[in-house]
Amino acid sequence: MSAPRRPLVAGNWKMHKTAGEAREFCTALAVLVGAEPPVDVAVCPPFTALEASVDALADTSIAVCAQNVHEAASGAHTGEVSAPMLLAAGVDGALVGHSERRAAGDTDAQVALRVRAGIDAGLTVVLCCGESLDIRRAGDTQRFVTRQVESALADVHAADLPRLVIAYEPIWAIGTGETATPEQAQEACAIVRSVASERVDGASLRILYGGSVNPGNAAELMACPDVDGALVGGASLDPESFARIVAAAG
């Protein structure tokens, strides 16, 4: 029998906060969530604020994740950051395959390589997936999300489970104010769990919902049986707002 899945609430700051602002935010957040928050908590600062965030959260249980990681350990990849670089900075994990990165050119093949590279290096990988509004309206959500997850996990094995999290983020709900209903979130996360179960123990895999999560809707979304937390965007930029989402998850 699989152990209960401990919820995770992660805040993706995207291209916000300088190193100084990140330090101030993390100091405030640590006080607000307390020494022993009821769920796992992570922040995902931009690359330039990672080390400041790591320093500010050094004596807390709050993890720090990067927003992306390259598949190569080093090389001629201008503007990219590798898993060894992140580990040397004290980072715990990385997002991979966020829709905004995919829109900028990250391919399914690259996402799969980055998942493997991150796990192999010792990072926790938060794999992102999700469909556009046109795909949902066409009734093609299941096929699209299935393809994304199958492709990304092609080289993932059962032993990789402790370092894998999947975040379902419908593109049409990211930064739009639109949010999937609890029923829509549950349906999609159940699809993700079913597909991922072909590679890992799906019953133990943590699956997050992301897409305009805020303190007002967090509890309802995270009450869904296949939703194990949230990947929060805009509402994670304010420590009080983010802490309220953490509390709702507990």
Domain contains 1:
no
Domain contains 239:
yes
pLDDT value of residue 62: 98
pLDDT (tens digit per residue) in 138-193: 999 999 999 999 999 999 999 999 999 999 999 988 877 777 899 999 999 999 99
Distance CA 85, CA 179 (A): 35
Active site residues: 98, 169
User: For the CA atoms of 85, 87, 89, 91, what is the dihedral angle to 10 degrees?
Assistant: 130
Domain contains 154:
yes
Domain contains 244:
yes
pLDDT (tens digit per residue) in 107-140: 999 999 999 999 999 999 999 999 998 999 999 9
pLDDT (tens digit per residue) in 19-77: 999 999 999 999 999 999 999 999 999 999 999 999 999 999 999 999 999 999 999 99
pLDDT value of residue 2: 63
Q: Where in the sequence is the domain holding 49, given as residue range(s)?
A: 8-249
Domain contains 223:
yes
Whole-model pTM above 0.85? yes
Domain contains 183:
yes
Domain contains 3:
no
pLDDT value of residue 75: 98
CATH of the domain at 179: 3.20.20.70
Alpha helix positions (H), the chain: 19-33, 50-56, 83-88, 99-103, 108-121, 133-137, 141-152, 182-196, 218-222, 239-249
**Structural domains in the chain (count):** 1
Domain contains 2:
no
pLDDT (tens digit per residue) in 98-110: 999 999 999 999 9
